[in-house]
Amino acid sequence: MPDRRRLIVAGSRQFARPSVVRYALTQAQDGYRPEEMQLVHGQCDPRTSSGHRIPWRAAKDLPEMTQRLLYGADWQADFAAVELGWPEPERHPADWRRRHAAGPERNVRMVARGGDGGHAFLSAGLRNAGTVGCAVLMAKAGIPVLFWCDACCEAPPVPVSAFTPCETHQLDEVGATWRRRTGVLL
């Protein structure tokens, strides 16, 4: 198999803007053919707009129009990648029998497989701890990460800085965590 351009997505399971996720994937594909791209994500179950969790496999059986509206960055990226004609996404579901450690352990495994770029999708007003943790792993592995906020949705959407992410959307805690954990690395 030829080397593909590996794009790691980390994001809030409540990320509300599929158009922003799709835009980020489209931008990442710039200069490449769809079959050269490889999406990598953690397969977090999507949510309805009211916050109800839907198991991944059950969600795949829903009508396409419903699937398109579900929340969650992994889900939306998976949907967009398939629509854009990318190869089957590489999915890394966490082993939830391992409880709270499951997400972080999965992120370590996922990032260790390597990546050419990363996208972190943040939900406005939330701590986004898992997403930021995964973004820190990417940064420490030398993978450039772009951040996106689901309340910054002007067209075209622009990435927000990890150092001062959207103070208007109450993401300053994200910036503090990022600065503390990446330190002088970046």
Q: Judged by CB under 5 A, does residue 122 bind Zn ion?
A: no
Tokens of 95: 């082993």
The pairing of strands 145-149 and 117-122 is parallel
- Report the C-alpha gap between 123 and 173 in whole angstroms: 12
Number of Cβ within a 10 Å radius of residue 109: 13
Task: Give the binding range for Zn ion (CB under 5 A) out of 38-46, 67-75, 86-94, 150-158.
Answer: 150-158
Kindly tell me the sign of the dihedral angle through the C-alpha atoms of 130, 131, 133, 134. positive
Inter-helix orientation angle 102-112/129-140, to 10°: 30
Of 138, 166, 174, 175, the one binding Zn ion (CB under 5 A) is: 166
Task: Give the binding range for Zn ion (CB under 5 A) out of 16-24, 28-36, 86-94, 167-175.
Answer: 167-175
Q: Judged by CB under 5 A, does residue 126 bind Zn ion?
A: no
Closest CB to Zn ion among 21 and 152?
Answer: 152
Q: Judged by CB under 5 A, does residue 149 bind Zn ion?
A: yes
Minimum distance from residue 151 beta carbon to Zn ion (Å) = 4
- Report the C-alpha gap between 72 and 103 in whole angstroms: 15
Contacts with Zn ion: how many residues (CB under 5 A)? 5
Minimum distance from residue 181 beta carbon to Zn ion (Å) = 21
Q: Judged by CB under 5 A, does residue 73 bind Zn ion?
A: no
Of 59, 81, 94, 152, the one binding Zn ion (CB under 5 A) is: 152
- Report the C-alpha gap between 29 and 97 in whole angstroms: 35
- The site for Zn ion (CB under 5 A) is made up of 149, 151-152, 166, 169
